[in-house]
Amino acid sequence: MSVTVISLARMSATVIMYTCGMSRWKPDARSRLQQSALEIYRERGYEQATVVEIAQRAGLTERTFFRHFADKREVLFVGADELREILVGRVAIEPVGTAPFDTVAAAVETLAASSTFQPEGRDKARQRQAVIAANPALQERELIKLASLSAALADALRVRGVGEPAASLAAEAGIVVFRVAFDRWVVDDEGRGLSHFVQESLSTLRAATAPS
């Protein structure tokens, strides 16, 4: 009887240890897959990389990969919905009567201040941009993402009563500011966040369009 109890106790301990070992992989699976993909894309090229090797390098399964991403391309573009929500959400709470471009500028500044674009995220952003720059199809996908953000901003402005072409022009200008600032941020080596470059770009644009 005592042997059986000891065996069961050992079995229970084994099960508990195994379960704990499995659970520790879950919280950061997506970020580990992203990092593995970026490493492989840089080493071997985006076209040659496979989902299987991305998952294996991350210590995960192919099935786990597809829980987080539709395909290997979406590793580079996941999070676009969150960016859209930040922009649209900020537009919605701007005070009534705020000029369209000022509304968009506030939304872009809010986006730049989000956790995605802090100094610690710059290295990953730089790696991502290098992969995209080397592949025309990925460049096209990036332009589509930016266009979708612009369209969402324009729609949000129309909900506030802004007519055309003001809504589209303000939205497009805001995304241009974001893109120019982002391109400067990813090559910056002084540890500054994206907000710094967004504010500089906004100031430059306002100065360029101010009356002489």
The rounded distance, in Å, linking the Cα atoms of 145 and 151 is 10
The rounded distance, in Å, linking the Cα atoms of 162 and 92 is 12
State the average pLDDT over residues 32-36.
93
Both tokens assigned to 75: 């590793």
pLDDT per residue as tens digits for the range 65-104: 999 999 999 999 988 899 999 999 999 999 999 999 999 9
pLDDT per residue as tens digits for the range 172-206: 999 999 999 999 999 998 888 999 999 999 999 99
31 or 9, greater pLDDT: 31
| Per-residue pLDDT, 158 | 98
pTM to 2 decimal places: 0.81
pLDDT per residue as tens digits for the range 129-150: 999 999 999 999 999 999 999 9
| Per-residue pLDDT, 211 | 87
State the average pLDDT over residues 151-159.
98
| Per-residue pLDDT, 26 | 52
The rounded distance, in Å, linking the Cα atoms of 62 and 69 is 10
Per-position DSSP letters for the chain, written without gaps between them: -HHHHHHHHHHHHHHHHHHHHHHTTSTTHHHHHHHHHHHHHHHH-TTT--HHHHHHHTT--HHHHHHH-SSTTTTTTTTHHHHHHHHHHHHHHSPTT--HHHHHHHHHHHHHTSGGGSGGGHHHHHHHHHHHHT-HHHHHHHHHHHHHHHHHHHHHHHHTT--TTHHHHHHHHHHHHHHHHHHHHHT--S---HHHHHHHHHHHHHHHHS--
pLDDT > 90: percent of the chain: 74
| Per-residue pLDDT, 201 | 97
How many other C-beta atoms can be found within 10 angstroms of the C-beta atom of residue 67? 11
| Per-residue pLDDT, 12 | 37
Of 75, 93, 145, 85, residue with least CA distance to 111: 85
